[in-house]
């Protein structure tokens, strides 16, 4: 089961060696795998369903990522119908790379003896979107970078995550350390100046979140994160020793996708699930997962409270058109990182759609819970009646609820800002609407529609703020026909915080020669942006990272990341789509992750460090 942990310690051989190993693969085995693909996978993966990875896109995956998906990831329900040998054969056949022919990478890129990890200095970038308010904002002092210097940013070093096909969560920084969760199932601690490796700790499941950093009462610096099997972990930063691990949900397809937030001796962790993808199988008994948030003791991992987004456990609801037993209510996963409003004692979460009909009242909602006991203080449901799962992507599969979408989650982390003395929650929704709510009671202050909306956003992963403006990334990609009507307007949209007026907009030119025909189909800004005074950074799905003047919208700097990179740890690495987590800005450096294979996007496994004048 713990394949990911093992593969993480390895890297692929050089291209020449891989080709030799492939040539050695028995042709009969490749033929069998090809037939297996036609029989078990092609119905959904032949290109008929928009944004489900095609046969060609799966070639960009590492074999480890495909295997992980079939064993414990999004395709676990599909993989269950196969033998372990068949899953491995498919992973190798589809990626065109061998699983077994990998070698240990230990040693390459390790820090020399004089560089030691020291997490005790400042924490210049903390967790997902930098702190409890999720503004993804860096002060001028900590940025060490001015708007005038931004045009001179140049690549300093690159680090490759072996065997990964996606870079999901932004790195975080403490003292001289950079902490990175890898989809290969490990936490990496690097020297943030040079990118050399201090330590690597395997977890045995993809690390899907940012490492939330906090100090324990005894003075130790600790990182908190979540994995692909819904377990939360605490890791000591100086040594890489795991202090505790705890599974937070009973459902076997539960997963932690939103990053933890630590506050006052507790860690708050959201729980989501892959059941939404499992439901695509007509013989999957849909659906039984319900979204949750857990509060844990930061020192021990002991549960303090857990609140579900759906009241009561799922019960039998009869049979589907395919004759499969059905259950409900289910869904309202929490895959956005929560925000903390200490002065009001609130934890603010965003929820996704219901998986079953009828939709539940806390789905597609911004919800404020009491930090103390998890009791709901207010619920603002933005889209009532939204029930959807991946069965709908095929044009009404047996498990598709009668509502059939529109799948308008709150996937972007809620952002907390202060406007005229009032504490305000800014929520970006996949509907393409940015909502501003009074944090005290959830009353709507304004809402502005800035994109067409769809199952991949509208606003997908993020909104940033510099305290005066909201910077919202608009993807406007559809998924299996779920996009709302109207014209797509992918790009970056900037709103004033007082009234939600549009100040400027950058329309994504989707200008990526390396991708040719595929470029337009992945136009859009999906990753969370990040800002410093006067500048906003935003990465695009075509792999371009840009810095904009925050007031005029002028492009100050850009770099194409959709290419191969030489890495400090000598791992074969490529950039691809920039998605999910934001760029990270500190001490004259901008760290950017590139590569994100989901939804037929471009795979990659690289962390890039840019700086000015060789700082
Ligand atoms: C019933 C439809 C269906 C079948 C059959 C199916 N898939 Fe998928 N697959 C999907 C959908 C839908 C997604 C996209 C899910 C998402 O990204 O949310 C997906 C995504 C994937 C991904 C990407 C996972 C990720 O983490 O982004 C891989 C790899 C994959 N499928 C492999 C396979 C293989 C191999 C088979 C055959 C054994 C298979 N699938 C069979 C519907 C299907």
Q: Looking at residue 467, which CATH number applies to its domain? A: 2.140.10.10
Residues 214 and 295 in one domain: yes
To test the pocket of ligand 1, the residue of 39, 60, 73, 74 to mutate (highest count of ligand atoms within 8 Å of its CB) is 74
Any domain includes 123: no
With respect to residue 110, please indicate whether it lies within any of the assigned structural domains: no
CATH number of the CATH domain containing 89: 1.10.760
Q: In terms of domains, do 277 and 327 share one? A: yes
Q: Which of 444, 428, 511 is nearest to 476 (CA)?
A: 428
Say whether 538 sits in a helix, a strand or coil.
strand
- Distance in angstroms (rounded) separating the CA atoms of residues 342 and 488: 38
Question: Angle formed by the axes of helices 84-95 and 63-71, to 10°?
Answer: 140
Residues of the chain with pLDDT under 50: 1-25, 100-105
Give the ligand 1 atom nearest the CA of 43. Answer: 5
Closest CA to 60 of 539, 572, 591, 609: 572
CB-ligand 1 contact for 168 (6 Å cutoff)? no
For residue 191, tell me if it sits in a domain.
Answer: yes
- Edge-to-edge strand order for the sheet containing 153-160? 153-160, 606-612, 589-594, 584-586
- What is residue 331's DSSP assignment? B
Considering the domain architecture, whether residues 96 and 149 belong to the same structural domain is answered as: no
Sheet holding 555-560, edge to edge: 530-532, 535-539, 544-549, 555-560
502 occurs within a structural domain: yes
Let me know whether 217 and 153 are in one domain. Answer: yes
Statement to judge: residues 503 and 368 lie in one domain: yes
CA neighbor of 251 nearest in space, from 204, 294, 306, 288? 288
Q: Do 78 and 182 belong together in one domain?
A: no
Cα 59 to ligand 1 centre (Å): 13
Q: What are the beta bridge partners of residue 584?
A: 591
What residues contact residue 156 under an 8 Å CB cut-off, 6+ apart? 195, 589, 609, 610, 611, 614
* Whole-number pLDDT of residue 16: 33
Q: Give the number of domains in the chain.
A: 2
130, part of any domain: no
Q: Are residues 70 and 166 in the same domain?
A: no
128 within a domain of the structure (yes/no):
no
Task: Supply the range of the domain harboring residue 356.
Answer: 140-612
Helix or strand run (H / E) with residue 394: none
User: Is the separation of the CB atoms in 244 and 227 below 8 Å?
Assistant: no
> Is the distance from the beta carbon of residue 67 to the nearest atom of ligand 1 less than 6 Å?
no
What's the pLDDT at 22? 44
How far lies 49's CA from each of 52, 177, 369, 454, 525, in Å? 6, 42, 38, 15, 21
Which segments of 532-613 does DSSP mark as H helices, in order? none
In ligand 1, the atom with minimum distance to the C-alpha of 61 is 29
Do residues 562 and 506 share a domain?
Answer: yes
Ligand 1 pocket residue status of 597, Cβ below 6 Å: yes
97 shares a domain with 9 = yes
pLDDT at 517: 66
Whole-angstrom Cα distance, residue 31 to residue 33? 5
d(CA 165, CA 574): 9
Q: Per the domain annotation, does 132 fall within a domain?
A: no
What is the predicted pLDDT for the residue at 74? 84
Chain segment 113-146, per-residue pLDDT in tens: 889 999 998 999 999 999 999 999 999 999 999 9
Distance (Å) from CA 582 to ligand 1 centroid: 26
Best probe residue, ligand 1, of 32, 37, 42, 44 (max atoms within 8 Å of C-beta): 44
Convert the pLDDT of each residue in 529-568 to its tens digit. Answer: 999 999 999 999 999 999 999 999 999 999 999 999 999 9
Residues 533 and 393 in one domain: yes
Triad 386, 388, 391: Cα angle to 5° = 165
The b/e string for 421-454 (b: 16+ C-beta within 10 A; e otherwise) is eebbbbbbbbbbbbbbbbbbebeebbebebbbbb
**Residues linked to residue 340 through DSSP beta bridges, in sequence order:** 347
Alpha helices for 46-191 (secondary structure H): 55-58, 63-71, 76-80, 84-95, 140-143
Pairing mode of beta strands 231-236, 544-549? unpaired
User: Which among 52, 85, 104 is the end of a domain?
Assistant: 104
> What is the whole-number distance in angstroms between the Cα of residue 41 and the centre of ligand 1?
7
What is the reported pLDDT for 481? Answer: 59
Rounded to the nearest angstrom, the distance between the alpha carbon of 45 and the centre of ligand 1 is: 7
Q: Are residues 319 and 410 in the same domain?
A: yes
Residue 574 and residue 477 share a domain: yes
Residue 393 DSSP class: G
Round to whole Å and give the CA distance between 298 and 222: 9
How far is 105 from 9, CA to CA, in rounded Å? Answer: 6
**The pLDDT of residue 63:** 84
């Amino acid at each position: 089961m713990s394949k990911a942990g093992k593969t993480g310690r390895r890297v692929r051989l050089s291209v020449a060696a891989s080709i030799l190993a492939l040539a050695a693969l028995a042709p009969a085995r490749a033929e069998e795998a090809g037939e297996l693909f036609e029989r078990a996978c092609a119905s959904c993966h032949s290109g008929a369903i928009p944004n489900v990875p095609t046969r060609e896109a799966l070639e960009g995956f590492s074999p480890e990522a495909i295997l992980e998906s079939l064993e414990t990831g999004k395709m676990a329900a599909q993989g269950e119908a196969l033998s372990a040998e068949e899953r491995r054969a498919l992973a190798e056949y589809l990626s065109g790379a061998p699983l077994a022919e990998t070698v240990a990478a230990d040693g390459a890129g390790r820090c020399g003896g004089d560089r030691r990890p020291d997490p005790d200095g400042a924490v210049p970038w903390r967790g997902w979107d930098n702190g409890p308010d999720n503004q993804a904002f860096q002060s001028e002092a900590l940025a060490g970078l001015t708007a005038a210097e931004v045009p001179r940013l140049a690549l300093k070093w690159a680090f490759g995550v072996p065997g990964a096909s996606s870079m999901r969560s932004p790195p975080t920084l403490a003292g001289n350390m950079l902490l990175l969760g890898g989809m290969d199932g490990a936490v990496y601690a690097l020297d943030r100046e040079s990118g050399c490796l201090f330590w690597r700790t395997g977890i045995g499941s993809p690390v899907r979140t940012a490492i939330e950093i906090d100090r324990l009462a005894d003075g130790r610096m600790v990182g908190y994160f979540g994995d692909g099997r819904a377990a939360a972990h605490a890791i000591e930063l100086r040594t890489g020793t795991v202090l505790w691990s705890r599974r937070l949900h009973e459902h076997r397809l539960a997963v932690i996708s939103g990053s933890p937030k630590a506050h006052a001796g507790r860690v708050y962790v959201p729980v989501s699930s892959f059941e939404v993808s499992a439901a695509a199988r007509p013989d999957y008994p849909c659906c039984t997962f319900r979204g949750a948030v857990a509060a844990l003791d930061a020192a021990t991992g002991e549960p303090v409270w857990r609140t579900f987004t759906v009241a009561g456990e799922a019960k039998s609801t009869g049979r589907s058109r395919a004759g499969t037993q059905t259950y409900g209510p289910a869904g309202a996963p929490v895959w956005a990182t929560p925000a903390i409003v200490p002065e009001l004692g609130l934890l603010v979460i965003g929820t996704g759609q219901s998986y079953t009909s009828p939709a539940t009242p806390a789905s597609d909602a911004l919800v404020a819970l009491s930090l103390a006991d998890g009791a709901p203080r207010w619920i603002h449901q933005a889209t009532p009646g939204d029930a959807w799962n991946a069965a709908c992507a095929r044009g009404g599969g047996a498990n598709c609820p009668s509502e059939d979408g529109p799948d308008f989650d709150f996937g972007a982390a809620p952002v907390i800002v202060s406007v005229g003395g009032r504490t305000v929650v800014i929520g970006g929704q996949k509907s393409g609407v940015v909502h501003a709510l009074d944090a005290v009671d959830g009353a709507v202050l304004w809402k502005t529609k800035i994109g067409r909306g769809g199952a991949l956003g509208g606003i997908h992963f993020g909104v940033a703020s510099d305290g005066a403006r909201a910077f919202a990334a608009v993807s406007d990609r559809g998924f299996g026909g779920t996009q709302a009507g109207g014209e797509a307007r992918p790009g970056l949209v900037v709103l004033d915080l007082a009234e939600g007026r549009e100040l400027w907009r950058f329309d994504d030119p989707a200008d990526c020669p390396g991708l040719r025909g595929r470029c337009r189909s992945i136009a859009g800004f999906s990753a969370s942006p990040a800002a410093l005074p006067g500048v906003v950074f935003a990465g695009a799905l075509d792999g371009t990272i840009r810095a904009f003047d925050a007031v005029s919208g002028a492009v100050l700097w850009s770099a194409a990341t959709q290419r191969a990179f030489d890495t400090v740890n000598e791992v074969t690495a490529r950039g691809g789509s920039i998605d999910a987590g934001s760029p990270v800005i500190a001490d004259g450096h901008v760290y950017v992750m590139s590569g994100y294979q989901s939804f037929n996007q471009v795979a990659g496994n690289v962390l890039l460090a840019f700086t000015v004048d060789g700082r």
